[in-house]
Amino acid sequence: MTKVGIIGIGHGVFGRRSDATVQELAFEAFSAAMKDAGLTREDLEASVIGSVPEYHKQRSLPGVVQEYLGLNPKPTWLTEVACASGSAAIRTAWMSIQAGVHDVVAVIGCQKMTELTTAEILGLMGRVGEVQWESVFGTTFPAYYAMFARRHMHEFGTTHEQLLQVAVKNHFYGAKNPCALFRKEITLEKAMESDEVALPLQVYDCCANADGAACVILAGEERAKEISNKVVWLEGMGCATASMSVLRRPHMVGLPSAEQSGAEAYKMAGIGPDDIKVAQVHDCFTIAEIMAYEDLGFCKKGGGGKFIADRQSYIGGKVAVNVDGGLKAKGHPIGATGVSQTYEIAKQLRGEAGERQVPGADIGLTHNVGGIGQYCFVQILRRD
């Protein structure tokens, strides 16, 4: 297999970006990544866009992004697997380099979500569930994850206080991230007093919709070494799917797609969970991060609540998780999230994360979930 590395990274500010169109958001991240890599447009051979088109008024989004970035007539295309679209775009670019079709590829995750109302967004997200037998009964994303939370509490004695400790941690680190939507710390008491959403989940258990973009530039080994002296290598790439209906899955205390994709990524990289120093996991809800600890092998099944309570996912614990604030504090522009996760791990492995830097970070992991676990992509990254 061809070795593929990340040679440039860029990230815009996540939030309610009324100041920018989706193509302007893409340019914000793309221009930063190009400057970071020291490349010109002529050096790029293709681009891949990770986004979910239903949230935009513009159809065929890659066309307007490609034109705005000045990349015509180079090839571009879209990847879409719900909230995992960004990581799917990275995997697609990685595969094109593996196949020898391209050698230097820009991957841009971008999403403009605030053009729609909250009710419209909830309707769209609810239909990511199984339409024939589930979403017709009014299922929403919070309701699905509330079911996961209830089952986890029932089987393992996980408490709602433990769930909200995930929120406290992620807001603590989000306050240190200039690209985050929410840059204020919260207390456990404040989180416990927040409004109910879908019990047991409350407002502070849930991530927020946002606008934003992130970009990473990939290259094959020879070109990567020519271009950059701080390459971060994609060492393990796992992905898997699960049934659309959660009722047809073997259990509801984790995501089978995450278990499988994590195992594939570890095998390809030739490492295990204990080797991971820093991780970005898909914390769309607090229970999702706790399940990710277990699905990825950071702790045993059922041990996620104790893992966060013992601060094992803080810097200084067993593995530092979501030290950029995660989806919970950074925000979740769904097409951009997977690329944003990879940006953060690359930054950590390059030792450039400032006050959020994880000491000795040499191997990192991203975990990007699409839908209610129908898709999952796990990447393992390593710095020379």
The model's pLDDT over 368-382, given as tens digits with 9 standing for 90+, comes to 999 999 999 999 999
198 and 224 co-located in one domain: no
100: containing domain: 4-116+210-233
**Beta pairing, strands 46-50 & 232-241:** unpaired
Residue 226 lies in a domain: yes
* 83 assigned to active site: yes
Work out the percent of the chain whose per-residue pLDDT is above 70: 100
Q: Which residue has the higher pLDDT, 47 or 113?
A: 47
Assess whether pLDDT exceeds 90 at residue 19: yes
Contacts of 241 (CB under 8 A, 6+ apart): 257, 374, 375, 376
| Cis peptide bond prior to 200, omega within 30° of 0 | yes
Assess whether pLDDT exceeds 80 at residue 125: no
**Beta pairing, strands 212-220 & 4-11:** antiparallel
- The model's confidence at residue 126, banded by pLDDT at 50, 70 and 90, is confident
Residue 122 lies in a domain: no
26 and 147 co-located in one domain: no
Confidence (pLDDT) at 57 = 80
Assess whether pLDDT exceeds 80 at residue 122: no
196 and 288 co-located in one domain: yes
200 and 214 co-located in one domain: no
Confidence (pLDDT) at 384 = 83
| Cis peptide bond prior to 53, omega within 30° of 0 | no
Assess whether pLDDT exceeds 80 at residue 212: yes
Assess whether pLDDT exceeds 80 at residue 232: yes
CATH of the domain at 342: 3.40.47.10
- Residue whose C-alpha is closest to residue 144's, from 249, 261, 225: 249
Rounded to whole angstroms, the Cα distance separating 291 from 304 reads 7
| Residue pLDDT, tens place only, 327-361 | 999 999 999 999 999 999 999 999 999 999 999 99
285 and 154 co-located in one domain: yes
User: Do the Cβ atoms of 282 and 327 come closer than 8 Å?
Assistant: yes
Assess whether pLDDT exceeds 80 at residue 123: no
Residue 68 lies in a domain: yes
**Beta pairing, strands 232-241 & 375-383:** antiparallel
Assess whether pLDDT exceeds 80 at residue 227: yes
Work out the percent of the chain whose per-residue pLDDT is above 90: 89
Whole-number mean pLDDT of the chain? 96
Q: Which residue has the higher pLDDT, 113 or 296?
A: 296
107 and 88 co-located in one domain: yes
Whole-prediction pTM value? 0.97
Q: What is the distance in angstroms between the CA of the first residue and the CA of the last residue of the chain?
A: 18
Confidence (pLDDT) at 323 = 98
- Residue whose C-alpha is closest to residue 101's, from 147, 56, 45, 157: 45
Assess whether pLDDT exceeds 90 at residue 218: yes
| Cis peptide bond prior to 333, omega within 30° of 0 | no
Confidence (pLDDT) at 131 = 83
Q: Mean of the pLDDT values across residues 137-159?
A: 94
| Residue pLDDT, tens place only, 255-304 | 999 999 999 999 999 999 999 999 999 999 999 999 999 999 999 999 99
| Residue pLDDT, tens place only, 54-77 | 888 888 999 999 999 999 999 999
Q: Which amino acid type is present at position 296? A: L
From 11, 56, 83, 171, active-site residue: 83
Assess whether pLDDT exceeds 80 at residue 96: yes
142 and 273 co-located in one domain: yes
Confidence (pLDDT) at 259 = 98
Number of domains composing the chain: 2
From 171, 332, 367, 376, active-site residue: 332
Residue 384 lies in a domain: no
| Residue pLDDT, tens place only, 164-208 | 999 999 999 999 999 999 999 999 999 999 999 999 999 999 999
Rounded to whole angstroms, the Cα distance separating 1 from 160 reads 45
* 332 assigned to active site: yes
Rounded to whole angstroms, the Cα distance separating 91 from 81 reads 12
